[in-house]
Amino acid sequence: MGEAAALASALCWAATSVGMARLSLRYGGAVLSGLRFLIASPIVIALMLVTGGAQQLAEASPWTIAVIAFSACVGYGIGDTLYVQALPRVGLQRMAPTTTALFVALSASGGVLLLNEPGGWSLVVGGVLVVAGTYVIIAARAEAVPDPEAPSRMGTAKTVGVLLLVAGAWAAATLLLAGGRGDLGAFAVSAVRIPAGGLTIALVATAASRGAVLRRLPTTADLPVVLALGVGGTAIGSVLYIYAVAEAGAARAVILNSTSPLMVVPLSMYFLRERPTLLVGAGTLLCLLGTLTVIALE
Protein backbone atom coordinates (compact mmCIF):
# COMPACT_ATOMS: atom_id res chain seq x y z
CA MET A 1 0.00 0.00 0.00
CA GLY A 2 2.90 2.35 0.64
CA GLU A 3 4.17 1.92 -2.91
CA ALA A 4 0.66 2.40 -4.33
CA ALA A 5 0.27 5.59 -2.30
CA ALA A 6 3.57 6.89 -3.71
CA LEU A 7 2.34 6.34 -7.29
CA ALA A 8 -1.00 7.99 -6.53
CA SER A 9 0.84 10.92 -5.00
CA ALA A 10 2.92 11.17 -8.18
CA LEU A 11 -0.28 11.47 -10.23
CA CYS A 12 -1.54 14.24 -7.94
CA TRP A 13 1.73 16.14 -8.29
CA ALA A 14 1.68 15.71 -12.09
CA ALA A 15 -1.79 17.22 -12.30
CA THR A 16 -0.74 20.00 -9.94
CA SER A 17 2.32 20.80 -12.08
CA VAL A 18 0.21 21.13 -15.21
CA GLY A 19 -2.29 23.36 -13.39
CA MET A 20 0.45 25.54 -11.97
CA ALA A 21 2.11 25.78 -15.38
CA ARG A 22 -1.11 27.30 -16.73
CA LEU A 23 -1.47 29.78 -13.88
CA SER A 24 2.16 30.67 -13.13
CA LEU A 25 2.31 33.22 -15.95
CA ARG A 26 -0.50 35.23 -14.31
CA TYR A 27 0.20 34.80 -10.59
CA GLY A 28 3.30 34.60 -8.45
CA GLY A 29 4.61 31.37 -6.98
CA ALA A 30 3.92 32.51 -3.43
CA VAL A 31 0.28 33.26 -4.27
CA LEU A 32 -0.36 29.87 -5.85
CA SER A 33 1.54 27.88 -3.21
CA GLY A 34 0.07 29.74 -0.27
CA LEU A 35 -3.51 29.47 -1.53
CA ARG A 36 -3.40 25.77 -2.31
CA PHE A 37 -1.98 24.95 1.13
CA LEU A 38 -4.50 27.15 2.93
CA ILE A 39 -7.31 25.54 0.92
CA ALA A 40 -6.04 22.08 1.84
CA SER A 41 -5.60 22.89 5.55
CA PRO A 42 -9.22 22.51 6.75
CA ILE A 43 -9.56 19.29 4.76
CA VAL A 44 -6.55 17.56 6.32
CA ILE A 45 -7.50 18.84 9.79
CA ALA A 46 -11.00 17.39 9.37
CA LEU A 47 -9.54 14.06 8.19
CA MET A 48 -7.24 14.04 11.20
CA LEU A 49 -10.14 14.59 13.60
CA VAL A 50 -12.32 11.93 11.95
CA THR A 51 -9.55 9.31 12.04
CA GLY A 52 -8.58 9.94 15.65
CA GLY A 53 -5.34 11.73 14.89
CA ALA A 54 -6.03 14.42 17.50
CA GLN A 55 -5.12 11.97 20.25
CA GLN A 56 -1.84 11.21 18.49
CA LEU A 57 -1.00 14.91 18.30
CA ALA A 58 -1.88 15.40 21.97
CA GLU A 59 0.55 12.65 22.93
CA ALA A 60 3.33 13.78 20.56
CA SER A 61 6.34 15.62 21.96
CA PRO A 62 6.85 19.33 21.16
CA TRP A 63 10.07 18.37 19.36
CA THR A 64 8.18 16.06 16.99
CA ILE A 65 5.64 18.77 16.17
CA ALA A 66 8.43 21.29 15.63
CA VAL A 67 10.32 18.99 13.25
CA ILE A 68 7.19 18.33 11.19
CA ALA A 69 6.38 22.05 11.00
CA PHE A 70 9.98 22.87 10.05
CA SER A 71 9.92 20.25 7.28
CA ALA A 72 6.87 22.08 5.87
CA CYS A 73 8.66 25.42 5.96
CA VAL A 74 11.60 23.92 4.06
CA GLY A 75 9.75 21.69 1.59
CA TYR A 76 6.68 23.81 0.92
CA GLY A 77 7.87 27.31 1.80
CA ILE A 78 11.15 27.08 -0.12
CA GLY A 79 10.88 24.09 -2.46
CA ASP A 80 7.33 24.33 -3.82
CA THR A 81 7.22 28.13 -3.94
CA LEU A 82 10.51 28.39 -5.81
CA TYR A 83 9.38 25.62 -8.17
CA VAL A 84 6.23 27.51 -9.13
CA GLN A 85 8.05 30.84 -9.32
CA ALA A 86 10.69 29.45 -11.68
CA LEU A 87 8.34 27.53 -14.01
CA PRO A 88 7.86 30.40 -16.51
CA ARG A 89 11.61 31.16 -16.59
CA VAL A 90 12.87 27.57 -16.72
CA GLY A 91 9.98 25.72 -18.38
CA LEU A 92 8.06 22.66 -17.22
CA GLN A 93 9.98 20.40 -19.62
CA ARG A 94 13.31 21.35 -18.04
CA MET A 95 12.10 21.85 -14.47
CA ALA A 96 10.27 18.58 -13.92
CA PRO A 97 12.95 16.01 -14.85
CA THR A 98 15.96 17.80 -13.40
CA THR A 99 14.42 18.60 -10.02
CA THR A 100 12.98 15.09 -9.87
CA ALA A 101 16.31 13.46 -10.66
CA LEU A 102 18.18 15.55 -8.09
CA PHE A 103 15.43 14.97 -5.53
CA VAL A 104 15.61 11.21 -6.07
CA ALA A 105 19.38 11.12 -5.77
CA LEU A 106 19.54 13.27 -2.64
CA SER A 107 16.59 11.67 -0.83
CA ALA A 108 17.39 8.06 -1.69
CA SER A 109 21.02 8.51 -0.69
CA GLY A 110 20.02 10.27 2.50
CA GLY A 111 17.48 7.59 3.39
CA VAL A 112 20.10 4.86 3.05
CA LEU A 113 23.02 6.72 4.64
CA LEU A 114 21.26 8.67 7.40
CA LEU A 115 18.15 6.65 8.22
CA ASN A 116 19.53 3.12 7.73
CA GLU A 117 16.88 2.24 5.16
CA PRO A 118 17.44 -0.79 2.90
CA GLY A 119 19.30 0.08 -0.28
CA GLY A 120 19.61 -3.09 -2.34
CA TRP A 121 20.32 -3.38 -6.02
CA SER A 122 16.63 -3.21 -6.97
CA LEU A 123 16.38 0.27 -5.46
CA VAL A 124 19.44 1.45 -7.39
CA VAL A 125 18.45 -0.13 -10.70
CA GLY A 126 14.84 0.99 -10.40
CA GLY A 127 15.87 4.54 -9.57
CA VAL A 128 18.26 4.73 -12.52
CA LEU A 129 15.60 3.43 -14.93
CA VAL A 130 12.95 5.85 -13.66
CA VAL A 131 15.24 8.85 -13.88
CA ALA A 132 16.56 7.83 -17.32
CA GLY A 133 13.05 7.30 -18.67
CA THR A 134 11.90 10.63 -17.30
CA TYR A 135 14.76 12.44 -19.02
CA VAL A 136 14.05 10.76 -22.36
CA ILE A 137 10.36 11.67 -22.25
CA ILE A 138 10.71 15.28 -21.18
CA ALA A 139 13.71 15.99 -23.40
CA ALA A 140 11.90 14.59 -26.43
CA ARG A 141 8.77 16.61 -25.70
CA ALA A 142 10.76 19.79 -25.08
CA GLU A 143 12.36 19.58 -28.54
CA ALA A 144 9.07 18.96 -30.31
CA VAL A 145 6.92 21.50 -28.47
CA PRO A 146 8.66 24.84 -27.92
CA ASP A 147 6.88 27.38 -25.76
CA PRO A 148 6.86 30.71 -27.67
CA GLU A 149 4.76 32.48 -25.02
CA ALA A 150 7.14 31.79 -22.14
CA PRO A 151 9.16 34.73 -20.75
CA SER A 152 12.91 34.94 -21.23
CA ARG A 153 14.68 31.91 -19.81
CA MET A 154 17.22 32.00 -17.00
CA GLY A 155 20.90 31.64 -17.73
CA THR A 156 22.67 28.35 -17.06
CA ALA A 157 24.17 29.34 -13.72
CA LYS A 158 20.88 30.67 -12.31
CA THR A 159 18.98 27.66 -13.59
CA VAL A 160 21.37 25.23 -11.93
CA GLY A 161 21.11 27.18 -8.68
CA VAL A 162 17.32 27.11 -8.73
CA LEU A 163 17.21 23.38 -9.50
CA LEU A 164 19.60 22.60 -6.66
CA LEU A 165 17.65 24.75 -4.19
CA VAL A 166 14.31 23.17 -5.11
CA ALA A 167 15.56 19.58 -5.03
CA GLY A 168 17.62 20.19 -1.90
CA ALA A 169 14.64 21.68 -0.06
CA TRP A 170 12.40 18.76 -1.04
CA ALA A 171 15.01 16.19 -0.04
CA ALA A 172 15.75 17.88 3.30
CA ALA A 173 12.03 18.09 4.09
CA THR A 174 11.50 14.42 3.23
CA LEU A 175 14.40 13.25 5.39
CA LEU A 176 13.30 15.46 8.29
CA LEU A 177 9.81 14.01 8.02
CA ALA A 178 10.99 10.41 7.77
CA GLY A 179 13.37 10.74 10.70
CA GLY A 180 11.35 12.97 13.01
CA ARG A 181 7.68 12.09 12.63
CA GLY A 182 7.79 9.50 15.42
CA ASP A 183 4.69 7.32 15.54
CA LEU A 184 2.32 9.91 14.10
CA GLY A 185 0.05 8.74 11.29
CA ALA A 186 -0.30 10.39 7.89
CA PHE A 187 -3.38 12.43 8.81
CA ALA A 188 -1.86 13.76 12.02
CA VAL A 189 1.34 14.74 10.22
CA SER A 190 -0.59 16.42 7.40
CA ALA A 191 -2.71 18.37 9.89
CA VAL A 192 0.50 19.97 11.17
CA ARG A 193 2.55 20.12 7.99
CA ILE A 194 0.12 21.59 5.48
CA PRO A 195 -1.22 24.48 7.63
CA ALA A 196 2.34 25.27 8.74
CA GLY A 197 3.46 25.45 5.12
CA GLY A 198 0.51 27.58 4.04
CA LEU A 199 0.83 30.04 6.90
CA THR A 200 4.59 30.36 6.40
CA ILE A 201 4.22 31.14 2.70
CA ALA A 202 1.30 33.55 3.23
CA LEU A 203 2.93 35.50 6.06
CA VAL A 204 6.36 35.75 4.42
CA ALA A 205 4.91 36.74 1.03
CA THR A 206 2.61 39.36 2.58
CA ALA A 207 5.39 40.85 4.69
CA ALA A 208 7.97 40.82 1.88
CA SER A 209 5.60 42.52 -0.57
CA ARG A 210 4.12 44.85 2.07
CA GLY A 211 0.68 43.54 1.27
CA ALA A 212 0.99 43.90 -2.51
CA VAL A 213 0.63 40.14 -2.96
CA LEU A 214 -2.99 40.40 -1.80
CA ARG A 215 -3.82 42.39 -4.93
CA ARG A 216 -2.72 39.53 -7.19
CA LEU A 217 -5.20 36.90 -6.05
CA PRO A 218 -6.79 34.62 -8.68
CA THR A 219 -9.80 35.86 -10.58
CA THR A 220 -13.19 34.20 -10.47
CA ALA A 221 -12.41 32.34 -13.70
CA ASP A 222 -9.20 30.82 -12.28
CA LEU A 223 -10.53 30.11 -8.81
CA PRO A 224 -11.92 26.61 -9.63
CA VAL A 225 -8.47 25.54 -10.86
CA VAL A 226 -6.84 26.86 -7.67
CA LEU A 227 -9.44 25.02 -5.56
CA ALA A 228 -8.72 21.80 -7.45
CA LEU A 229 -4.99 22.25 -6.88
CA GLY A 230 -5.58 22.75 -3.18
CA VAL A 231 -7.94 19.81 -2.68
CA GLY A 232 -6.56 17.22 -5.09
CA GLY A 233 -2.94 18.15 -5.54
CA THR A 234 -2.15 19.29 -2.03
CA ALA A 235 -4.60 17.78 0.47
CA ILE A 236 -4.95 14.34 -1.11
CA GLY A 237 -1.49 14.24 -2.69
CA SER A 238 0.35 15.25 0.48
CA VAL A 239 -1.49 12.73 2.67
CA LEU A 240 -0.69 9.98 0.16
CA TYR A 241 2.97 10.98 0.05
CA ILE A 242 3.34 11.12 3.83
CA TYR A 243 1.67 7.72 4.08
CA ALA A 244 4.06 6.38 1.44
CA VAL A 245 7.11 7.68 3.32
CA ALA A 246 5.84 6.04 6.52
CA GLU A 247 4.96 2.68 4.96
CA ALA A 248 7.49 2.26 2.15
CA GLY A 249 10.40 4.31 3.49
CA ALA A 250 11.80 7.61 2.22
CA ALA A 251 14.08 6.11 -0.44
CA ARG A 252 11.46 3.85 -2.03
CA ALA A 253 8.66 6.42 -1.79
CA VAL A 254 10.80 9.09 -3.42
CA ILE A 255 11.77 6.90 -6.38
CA LEU A 256 8.19 5.83 -7.08
CA ASN A 257 6.98 9.41 -6.63
CA SER A 258 9.52 10.43 -9.28
CA THR A 259 7.27 8.92 -11.97
CA SER A 260 5.25 12.15 -11.86
CA PRO A 261 6.97 13.65 -14.95
CA LEU A 262 5.93 10.53 -16.84
CA MET A 263 2.32 11.20 -15.86
CA VAL A 264 2.69 14.84 -16.93
CA VAL A 265 2.91 13.74 -20.58
CA PRO A 266 -0.72 12.61 -21.19
CA LEU A 267 -2.04 15.42 -18.98
CA SER A 268 -0.04 17.97 -20.97
CA MET A 269 -1.26 16.48 -24.24
CA TYR A 270 -4.88 16.88 -23.17
CA PHE A 271 -4.88 20.13 -21.20
CA LEU A 272 -1.96 22.01 -22.79
CA ARG A 273 -2.37 20.56 -26.31
CA GLU A 274 1.23 19.33 -26.43
CA ARG A 275 2.09 16.51 -28.84
CA PRO A 276 4.31 13.51 -28.02
CA THR A 277 7.35 12.26 -29.95
CA LEU A 278 8.61 8.80 -30.87
CA LEU A 279 11.03 8.81 -27.93
CA VAL A 280 8.13 9.02 -25.48
CA GLY A 281 7.51 5.29 -25.99
CA ALA A 282 11.08 4.42 -25.04
CA GLY A 283 10.96 6.67 -21.99
CA THR A 284 7.65 5.19 -20.91
CA LEU A 285 9.07 1.68 -21.10
CA LEU A 286 12.09 2.67 -18.99
CA CYS A 287 9.90 4.27 -16.33
CA LEU A 288 7.55 1.30 -16.17
CA LEU A 289 10.45 -1.14 -15.85
CA GLY A 290 11.96 0.97 -13.09
CA THR A 291 8.68 1.18 -11.21
CA LEU A 292 8.14 -2.59 -11.43
CA THR A 293 11.72 -3.20 -10.29
CA VAL A 294 11.28 -1.05 -7.19
CA ILE A 295 7.92 -2.61 -6.28
CA ALA A 296 8.45 -6.26 -7.17
CA LEU A 297 12.06 -6.93 -6.15
CA GLU A 298 13.48 -6.63 -2.65
pLDDT in the model for residue 39 = 92
Position 83 scores a pLDDT of 86
Q: How much is the pLDDT for 169?
A: 94
Note the pLDDT of residue 21.
76
- Are 200 and 68 within 8 A, CB to CB? no
Reported pTM: 0.74
Along the chain (298 residues), what's the average pLDDT of each consecutive run of 10 residues? 87 84 77 87 90 86 92 90 82 72 75 72 77 69 48 70 89 87 82 90 82 77 88 85 80 76 75 68 75 61
Sequence-ordered list of residues with C-beta below 8 angstroms from that of 204, at least 6 positions apart, any chain:
30, 77
Q: Can you tell me the distance from the alpha carbon of 57 to that of 64, in angstroms, rounded to the nearest whole number?
A: 9
Nearest-angstrom CA–CA distance, 74 and 173: 6
d(CA 180, CA 67): 6
The structural domains of the chain, with segments of one domain joined by +, span 2-296
Tally Cβ neighbours within 10 Å of residue 78.
20
Phi, psi of 265 (to 5 degrees): -60, -60
* pLDDT at residue 144 in the model: 44
- Helices and strands in the chain: count of H runs, count of E runs: 14, 0
